[in-house]
Each structure stands twice: as C-alpha cells, then as structure tokens.
C-alpha cells in the first residue's frame, strides 16, 4: 500500500509532514515542501502496458493525460473522485522549419496550449483542485499573470468551489481575464506586478482559510510532472538529449525534474535529458543567478517583458528549479522580446501558434546553438506552454502596420475589384 506525505526539500532537514495542511513551508526550517511516496515497486514494462491500455477505456480519469499515470500520483484516497476536464494528451509535433531556424536541430514541440483552458496549468490544476476537494475547501485563490486564473477558475467551478483571483492592475491579457470571468471567478486587480499580488495574497490565505493553488502548492507540480510521461511515451520511451521549457515562476522545470527523477528510480528510463530553462531578459532572475554562480536568487523588482505569462521577478520555485538543473546538467538562457517574437514567427511557418512566453524556448535554443552550447543536430523537445490566442493584443501589435496591410485587404463588393485583389495575391505567392 502506498503512503504519501509532504517532505521538506532542504538538505539536512527532509522532515515529513501530513498531506492535510495548506501551508507548504516546513515547520522545522521553513523550507519548501514536495510530495513523497513510500510505494511498492512495480515492473517498468507492466507500468507502460497499464498506461497504454487505459487509452482505450471510456473512464474519464483514463481519458486524462494526468490521471492515466495515476500510479505516479497516489495521494488520492481510494474511493475519492478526481476533478478533471480531460486535460493532457497534447500533441508532440516535429517542427522542421523551426528546427532549421533555431540552428539545425531535430526539434519537436509538446504543445500544452491544447489543454482545456489553453495552457499547461491544467495539468497541475486537476491535481491540486482534487486535493482541495479532498480537504473540503470551499474557496480557492491564486495570484496570476492570466493562465493560472483561467485554469483555476474552470477547475474550481467544476468542483463546486468559489474562485478568487488577484492580478496586477491593468497588466493581464483581455483573453485570459475573460476566461476567468466566464467561469465565475471574482477578479481583484491589485499592485503593479504578479509578485506584488502574490505576496499580499499569501499573507491572508491562512487567516481566511483559503486554498492557495499557485505553484508553491506541491500538488500542482505533481500534476505537471506527468508531461514527461506523455513525451516519453510518444517517443516510444526514447529519451531526448534536451527538454526546453520557459521560466516564469519555475514550476514547470521543477515538476519535470521531479518526474524524470521518479521515472529513473522506477526503472522506466536509464538516463536523464538535460533540462534547459529560457527566460525573458526583463524578467530573468534565475538566469542571472545561474550565470553568476550565485547561491541565492536576487529578485527583479520591476519585471518587464511582453511575454506576460513569464513576467515574474521573484519565482517561488527557484530552489526546486536549481535542483532540477543541477541533477540533469542543464542550462539557463535569457532572450530579448525581439528574439521571442522572431521565434514565434518561425514556429508559425510550421503551422504552430503559441503565446509569446512559449516561444522563449525556440529563441533560447537558437541562441544556445549559436554559442556552441547545444550542438547542431541535437535531439530536442521544446515545451510550448500556452495557446496562440492567450495574448492576441500583443501579437497583433507586433505584426506591424506594414505586415497587417499586406494581410488584411478591404475591397468594395464588386467582382472586378475582388478579381484584381486575388490576382495581386496570386502574383506574390
């Protein structure tokens, strides 16, 4: 029988705690907590066969790309229902043109924008809202740059809970705000940055008995770690040389690092890919920390980037993230907004759209290949974290008037004028 618990990640501590707490700091040292398991060992081939066979069943939990791998998430008591929207099972696509643009690498993208609310957040939200339901929570809260708010609001209302979101005033995409409002969330605009709203919200969660779902919550990372199971399964369990992810609050790389570690311990893989985190230049405290070989992260007081999903100056998961980077001999890169949007355009030539934050991965790969840190021909999987329509205002603004004028034509309702317009298009094809 599996026993699950919360455990401190700090060296020299590793104190265990029960699952039924809402404060995810260690009582002994104040360190961050993660979920650990005392589980019986299962033969790797048996696990693979079980996970594959569930694809053919109609059970809702088997249709989820998270709960299909539930042997890796045995914190749910027997008889409890999971809160799911059928998240996961997103495509892994070869993008040859983008790979050539990035420096001549073998590039595939794992597109998390194909999740129910359009971002990777759904993988973690199904897990932590399931835990909130187990604890009997009535109100869930988060600070957000947009994607977390949309995801939490959807899963909370599905579970019959009230959702409350704090966002930086005037700094959230209308598309993301609309999602949260449509799912019935109360949105509180406060502060100038994500870090402001997160700090203020955390100060009140215990006092008001609120369930916080930001990636400080280790159940979020449990759901998110299953992305590596899907990636490897889609590759017939061939481990890529690199997995590249954007870096905002650093939950993704932390979760993927944990997932890889557990898969190796279970004997499902024999080696680890190198993890790469890419950040925007105006919000890159983790990059600066690694580049300067610093022991502590120094926050960016006023993070600035058009890639709004990663506009975070004080990432809460940096200790878990640095552990993942070191364990996999990984790297961290920083790219400009211009480089991000150039990468976004390169992906578009493969018919792939994404939110700006996602394109940092492709921009970072190009930069690392150019500097010789990643070799040409390398086998790489890049994670795209959000849907193309998450930040439409920025994407349209970045197109420029000249490009838009070529692509958006207006003609009078006259067949000859329409013919002339179509002939101009055909001539330029």
Instruction: Give the pLDDT score at 249.
Output: 94
Task: Report the C-alpha dihedral over residues 200, 206, 207, 208, rounded to 10 degrees.
Answer: 90
Instruction: Give the pLDDT score at 42.
Output: 85
285-330: pLDDT as tens digits: 999 999 999 999 999 999 999 998 899 999 999 999 999 999 999 9
- Which of the listed ranges 13-27, 33-47, 80-94 does the model predict with the highest average pLDDT? 80-94
- Domains along the chain with CATH numbers: 92-117+220-394 (3.40.50.1100), 402-428 (no CATH)
Question: Rounded mean pLDDT of the chain?
Answer: 92
Instruction: Give the pLDDT score at 383.
Output: 98
Instruction: State mean pLDDT over 161-166.
Output: 93
Kind plus residue range of the DSSP H or E element containing 4: strand 3-8
Tokens 């481990």 correspond to 239
Asked whether residue 364 carries a pLDDT value surpassing 90, the answer given is yes
The region of weakest confidence among 19-23, 68-72, 278-282, 356-360 is 19-23
The verdict on pTM exceeding 0.75 is: yes
Check residues 22 and 95 and name the one with the higher pLDDT. 95
Residue 103 neighbours by CB under 8 Å, 6+ apart: 365, 366, 369, 370, 374, 376
> If DSSP codes are grouped into helix, strand and coil, which group holds residue 246?
strand
Task: Give me the percent of the chain exceeding a pLDDT of 70.
Answer: 97
Instruction: Give the pLDDT score at 403.
Output: 65
Residue 405 pLDDT class (50, 70, 90 cuts) = low
Instruction: Give the pLDDT score at 66.
Output: 98
CA 251 to chain centre: 7
Check residues 74 and 335 and name the one with the higher pLDDT. 335
Instruction: Give the pLDDT score at 1.
Output: 53
CA distance 356 to 156: 27
Instruction: Give the pLDDT score at 40.
Output: 77
The region of weakest confidence among 5-9, 379-383, 400-404 is 400-404
225-275: pLDDT as tens digits: 999 999 999 999 999 999 999 999 999 999 999 999 999 999 999 999 999
Strand partners, 383: 110
Task: Give me the percent of the chain exceeding a pLDDT of 90.
Answer: 74
Residue 400 pLDDT class (50, 70, 90 cuts) = low
The region of weakest confidence among 264-278, 315-329, 334-348, 387-401 is 387-401
Instruction: Give the pLDDT score at 353.
Output: 95
Residue 172 pLDDT class (50, 70, 90 cuts) = confident
Decide: 177 and 89 in contact? Cβ < 8 Å. no
Instruction: State mean pLDDT over 98-104.
Output: 98
> If DSSP codes are grouped into helix, strand and coil, which group holds residue 406?
helix
The region of weakest confidence among 202-211, 348-357, 385-394 is 385-394
Instruction: Give the pLDDT score at 402.
Output: 60
User: Order of strands across the sheet with 331-335?
Assistant: 92-94, 106-111, 379-384, 242-246, 274-280, 331-335
Residue 404 pLDDT class (50, 70, 90 cuts) = low
User: Order of strands across the sheet with 162-167?
Assistant: 186-189, 162-167, 139-143, 211-212
Asked whether residue 401 carries a pLDDT value surpassing 70, the answer given is no
């Amino acid at each position: 029988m599996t026993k699950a618990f919360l455990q401190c990640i700090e060296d020299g501590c590793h104190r265990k705690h029960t699952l039924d707490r809402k404060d995810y700091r260690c009582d002994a040292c104040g360190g961050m907590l993660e979920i650990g398991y005392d589980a019986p060992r299962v033969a790797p081939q048996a696990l693979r066969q079980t996970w594959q066979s569930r694809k053919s069943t109609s059970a809702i939990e088997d249709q989820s790309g998270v709960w299909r791998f539930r042997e890796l998430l045995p914190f749910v008591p027997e008889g409890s229902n999971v809160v799911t929207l059928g998240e996961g099972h997103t495509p892994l696509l070869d993008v040859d043109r983008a790979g050539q643009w990035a420096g001549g690498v073998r590039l595939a993208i794992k597109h998390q924008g194909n999740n129910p609310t359009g971002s990777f957040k759904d993988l973690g939200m199904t897990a932590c809202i399931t835990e909130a339901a187990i604890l009997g929570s009535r109100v869930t809260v988060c600070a957000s740059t947009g994607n977390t708010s949309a995801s939490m609001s959807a899963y909370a209302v599905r579970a019959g809970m009230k959702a409350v979101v704090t966002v930086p005033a005037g700094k959230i995409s209308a598309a993301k705000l609309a999602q949260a409002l449509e799912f019935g969330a109360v949105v509180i605009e406060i502060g100038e940055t994500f870090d402001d709203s997160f700090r203020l919200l955390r100060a009140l969660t215990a006092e008001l008995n609120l369930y916080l779902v930001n990636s400080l919550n280790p159940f979020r990372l449990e759901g998110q770690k299953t992305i590596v199971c899907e990636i490897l399964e889609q590759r017939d369990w061939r481990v890529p040389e690199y997995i590249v992810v954007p870096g905002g609050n650093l939950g993704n790389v932390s979760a993927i690092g944990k997932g890889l570690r557990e898969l190796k311990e279970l004997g499902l893989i024999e080696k680890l890919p190198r993890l790469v985190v890419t950040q925007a230049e105006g919000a890159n405290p983790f990059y600066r920390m690694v580049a300067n070989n610093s022991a502590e992260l120094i926050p960016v007081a006023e993070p600035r980037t058009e890639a709004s999903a990663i506009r975070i100056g004080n990432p809460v998961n940096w200790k878990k993230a640095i552990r993942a980077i070191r364990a996999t001999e990984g790297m961290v890169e920083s790219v400009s907004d211009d480089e991000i949007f150039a990468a976004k355009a390169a992906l578009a030539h493969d018919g792939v759209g994404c939110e700006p934050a996602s394109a940092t991965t492709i921009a970072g790969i190009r930069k690392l290949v150019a500097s010789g840190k990643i070799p040409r021909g390398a086998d790489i999987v890049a994670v795209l974290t959000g849907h193309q329509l998450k930040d439409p205002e920025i994407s349209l603004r970045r197109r420029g008037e000249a490009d838009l004028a070529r692509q958006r034509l207006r003609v009078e309702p006259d067949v000859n004028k329409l013919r002339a317009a179509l002939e101009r298009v055909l001539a330029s094809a």
